[in-house]
Structure 1
Amino acid sequence: MTDFDAIDALLANARTPTDLPPAEQRRALRQALNLTRTQVAQTLGVSPSTIGGWETGRDPSGETREKYAYFLTAAQEKLRTQNETPAHPEADPTTEHPTTAAPPKDEDTPLPTPHPCVLCGAPATDQIEGYPQHLNPEDCTHPTPHPPTPPQPPEATEPPAAPTSLLRKES
């Protein structure tokens, strides 16, 4: 095989990365299905903060990208088919009426007001598994410990009086 054949074989096997929806749609898809970041992360074998990063603009790569793209495509399809169901289920007596249950608590949601990050103490606007944290590790500022201050000696108010036995009497 010549060098050119090897290049041709490499290019023939090269894969184009799967397209992903825009970042703002990724979070909306997950939330529309009442899924938490933790649930999606466990299924894809990544951390919840990684899912948060993907929902704010970072993109996965390699096989993980393929899995995430598959999840997003399937989520879009599920929502599309849910929206195609009859608008008035009461018109069909064989259809059960859906119950209106509260959606599961999404523990990976934005906080209405910043809270101290559990890792660095700086204000964080997201929470992961119920704890305020930064989604992007670069936003997490690790506090620098302050060197301990040496104890200060007590302030002297007046010099101690000399013992009277040491004072010379002048005559």
Structure 2
Amino acid sequence: MLVIHLLSSFVFNILPVPIKPTIVHISVIIASIIYGPRIGAILGALMGVISIVTNTIVLLPTSYLFSPLVENGNFASLIIAMVPRILIGITPYFVYRLMKNKTGLILAGAVGSMTNTIFVLGGIFVLFSHVYSGDIQAMLAAVLGTNSIAEAIISAILTVAIVPALEKLKK
């Protein structure tokens, strides 16, 4: 997860692309499907810790949303950084277990990604709209309309491509 985080941060900061999708959560989704919701939740918590550390060290205008240790950050920052990421490790497992086929893998990848998006953006709206000085609905809609769609598609494609190979190796 750390390697994926560092490489994706490096690549998306160098390439002149209009969106910068998060891809660290894909490893959490895949682990959830292969090893179950407990391991998935643990890796999701690790992803949350990575987010807290990154936003504490690399200060961006949005760092307060994910780190209680920066200006305007508080306990709500911990909720936004941790809860959605833990849930990423749980929801894909149950989606895939309901279907147990290729469609289930595609949906599990997309649902895992959207779990993060919905809970992070929802948390920002509920817990931090008073801090944001601009039009928070417009900002959240822009993220939802760009990054989140790309993340869901990438997650679905990589999940359906990687999980069958890992399940064979596991056996």
Q: Establish whether TM, by shorter chain, passes 0.5.
A: no
Q: Which one has more relative contact order, counting CA pairs under 8 Å at least 6 apart?
A: 2
The structure having more radius of gyration, on CA atoms, is 1
Question: Quick check: which one's strand share is greater?
Answer: 1
State TM-score, norm by structure 1.
0.24
Structure in which a larger fraction of residues adopt helix? 2
Question: TM-score, structure 2 length as denominator?
Answer: 0.24
